[in-house]
Amino acid sequence: MKVLHINAGLEKGGGLSHIVNLLTEAKIENADFELLTLADGPVAQTAKKAGIKTTILGAQSRYDLSVLKRLTKFINRGNFDIVHTHGARANLFISMIKKQINAKWIITVHSDPLKDFEGRGMLGNIFTKFNVLALKKADGIFAITQNFSDLLVEKIGIPKTKICVIYNGIFFHKNSELPKKYAHPYFNIINVGRTEKVKGQDLLLKAIKNLNDKNVHLHIAGDGSEFNNLRALARDLGISSQVTFHGFLTQKEITKLYQKMDLAVLTSYSESFPLVLLEASDNLVPILSTDVGDIEKMIPDKKSGFIAQIGNLNDISKKLKLAVTTNKDDLEAMTEREKEYLMHAFSMKNQLVAIENYYKLVLGENSGKLS
């Protein structure tokens, strides 16, 4: 079974990690997977460093439709059984050539397709409609949470039979393989994610203000359209001295930051299945999240982490205070318990097996037998 994964190429966050992790696991297991990106960028660069077979199509702009003919030829001449797209632009490009390619087409829905272009005016509404049409054309869809699956069925009208729920995974490390933690004077909190409204970092800054604890220091690792607004908000709240805005960091740089972190926090309004929390847990950092996606699958009980209500500043402040005031030994025990659970539930090996089984199902449904 020959599979081509396609992405626009400009991903920086969880989407990049998911694609590279999946193709790395496929390489380990000798699966015939490769990657094509529409343009050069972080995805292609990271994949090449990981030794993944990667082709860059060379699109000259975000919507360079002149590459469609080349894309069609590449897919058909490569004799791929499955084309698997990640992201709205990759979906759009394949939807436009669907009738010309021989491969079956599968999409992974990494985020809420009705919110991907939210707040971008008329153009955003047009792109949302195109993305929804693409989802309806695909032969199969991976939803990375049950919530996303329900949304696709109830709000977009995708048949349940076309959707497979598979949760994201990562490569976990043995604790003995992790670098030692740095001694540090503060209670350090890290938020990893794009600085966009959907990520709710404004709520996190306000919750830090509500804590009124000068010993707490927040590190925000990520960039985006709200970056300068968030810095201004920190100044207005009088907490600039307690917040470090790192901008975009590589995975290696984030891993180094984890060595001096006491808590990882997400205050998002919407998430799929946040890999950044899996990565924090792998690095023995306790986690706190709003109840986005299927977060209860990741944090199954109060002994495993902290969950706050979406958009509720009072509850976020309350849970943040609970985490900050929890005894250090109890936090460490929580972290070790959580990592043990996640290692068994969300390994890359399990994810690859589930994905390959669904590929076979899609091919089998269309050929009359499982391949």
Residue 253 sits in a domain whose CATH number is: 3.40.50.2000
Residues 333, 190, single domain; the answer is yes
Q: H-type helices in 38-141, by residue range?
A: 42-49, 68-77, 88-97, 121-137
CA distances to 205, 240, 293, 311 from 236, in Å = 11, 8, 31, 20
Residues 147, 159, single domain; the answer is yes
The reported pLDDT for the residue numbered 130 is 87
Statement: residue 63 has pLDDT above 70: yes
**What is this structure's pTM?**
0.75
pLDDT per residue as tens digits for the range 93-133: 999 999 999 999 999 988 777 776 676 778 778 888 888 99
Residues 154, 188, single domain; the answer is no
Q: What distance lies between CA 173 and its chain's CA centroid?
A: 19
Q: How far is the C-alpha of 166 from the C-alpha of 153, rounded, in Å? A: 16
Q: What is the mean pLDDT of the chain?
A: 92
Residues 48, 159, single domain; the answer is yes
The reported pLDDT for the residue numbered 368 is 40
The reported pLDDT for the residue numbered 365 is 52
pLDDT per residue as tens digits for the range 328-370: 999 999 999 999 999 999 999 989 999 999 999 999 854 443 3
Residues 24, 55, single domain; the answer is yes
Quick one: average pLDDT of 293-303?
92
CA distances to 61, 66, 170 from 126, in Å = 18, 20, 34
Question: What is the domain extent for residue 339?
Answer: 175-345
Torsion of CA 329, 321, 259, 330, to 10 degrees: 10
pLDDT per residue as tens digits for the range 232-274: 999 999 999 999 999 999 888 999 999 999 999 999 998 878 8
Residues 244, 154, single domain; the answer is no
Residues 245, 351, single domain; the answer is no
Residues 188, 234, single domain; the answer is yes
Buried b / exposed e over 154-171, threshold 16 CB at 10 Å, is: eebebeeebbbbbbbbbe
pLDDT per residue as tens digits for the range 9-43: 987 777 888 899 999 999 999 999 999 999 999 99
Query: Does residue 36 sit in helix, strand or coil?
Result: strand
Residues 264, 356, single domain; the answer is no
Residues 161, 183, single domain; the answer is no
Q: Which of 7, 55, 54, 47 is CA-nearest to residue 25?
A: 47
